[in-house]
Amino acid sequence: MKILVCISNVPDTTAKITFTDNDTRLNKNGIQYIIGPYDDYALARGVELKEQSGGTLTVLHVGEADADPQIRKALAIGADDAIRVNADPLDSYFVAVQIANVAKQNNYDLILMGRESIDYNSGVVHGLVGEMLGIGSYSPVMKLDIEGGSATISREIDGGKEILKAPLPLVLGCQEPIAEWKIPNMRGIMTARTKPLNVVEPVSVDEMTVPEKYFLPAPKGACKMIPAGEAETLIRLLRTEAKVL
């Protein structure tokens, strides 16, 4: 089985975010980057499936050279080789086109990625890729088993969970608890240095969206402590200040 795992390169969740170019671009200075947490789940399950089936696992990232350390980490965790599409990931459509282009050239049986990245949180790339390839796409996938030429999937839906069976090839957006995150060991780190990381140029795509301005969330307000015996005061403040009643 040929598996493709798509990973994003996102700011660490503890990073202090600022913007530049009149608040139209992320200021990357001093930002530490990580593999997207949901993509980490997809990678972990992909490695498990590769080990079970004896197949191959390729990691794909759409981005620039500053993402190479995260790609090498994915190789250390268990991917066999990697592809980096050398382009600034402009938006979800652009990224999906690049993924679909690579997938068409390599005929993967299974394409895994996180349900969404944690920077823009669009959550649409897997669906776009599935449509572009003409194959099934499901998200968010919480459990995945492969038997023969089909996949058994458990995913969240409104009001509960759904278990379904679908034929390969598939595109799946993953989330916990599909697998546990894997930490690369020393042997993996050493072998990752010699694994292939192929850099390819992007296919041309018309720019579909242009950000006008980014905003930081409003700062948190002061916290008022109300004595336990003053329920009337609490209700009054909820009505007059918080305005939630």
Is residue 225, in this structure, part of any structural domain at all?
no
What is the average pLDDT across 18-38?
87
For the chain, percent of residues with pLDDT exceeding 90 = 60
Rounded Cα gap, residues 188 and 169, in angstroms: 28
Q: What number of H helices and E strands is found in the chain?
A: 6, 13
What is the average pLDDT across 181-187?
88
**Using 50, 70 and 90 to split pLDDT, how confident is the model at 89?**
confident
Contact yes or no for 66/5 (Cβ under 8 A): no
The answer, yes or no, to whether residue 44 has pLDDT greater than 80, is yes
What is the average pLDDT across 186-194?
91
The answer, yes or no, to whether residue 220 has pLDDT greater than 90, is no
> What integer pLDDT is reported at residue 216 of this predicted model?
84
Average pLDDT, the chain: 91
Task: Give the range of the structural domain holding residue 131, as residue numbers without chain letter.
Answer: 2-212
pLDDT digit string (tens) for 116-142? 888 888 889 999 999 999 999 998 999
Domain count, the chain: 1
Between strands 136-147 and 150-157, the pairing is antiparallel
> What integer pLDDT is reported at residue 141 of this predicted model?
93
> What integer pLDDT is reported at residue 61 of this predicted model?
96
Is residue 116, in this structure, part of any structural domain at all?
yes
Is residue 221, in this structure, part of any structural domain at all?
no
**Using 50, 70 and 90 to split pLDDT, how confident is the model at 68?**
very high
Which residues have a Cβ under 8 Å from the Cβ of 218 and sit 6 or more positions away? Answer: none
* CATH code at position 16: 3.40.50.620
Q: What are the residues facing 147 on neighbouring strands?
A: 150
User: Higher confidence at residue 112 or residue 228?
Assistant: 112
> What integer pLDDT is reported at residue 59 of this predicted model?
97
User: Higher confidence at residue 176 or residue 90?
Assistant: 176
Is residue 240, in this structure, part of any structural domain at all?
no
Is residue 72, in this structure, part of any structural domain at all?
yes
> What integer pLDDT is reported at residue 165 of this predicted model?
94
The answer, yes or no, to whether residue 57 has pLDDT greater than 90, is yes
What is the average pLDDT across 31-43?
93
Is residue 239, in this structure, part of any structural domain at all?
no
The 3-state DSSP class for residue 51 equals helix
Is residue 38, in this structure, part of any structural domain at all?
yes
Prediction pTM value: 0.84
Is residue 242, in this structure, part of any structural domain at all?
no
> What integer pLDDT is reported at residue 73 of this predicted model?
95
> What integer pLDDT is reported at residue 87 of this predicted model?
93
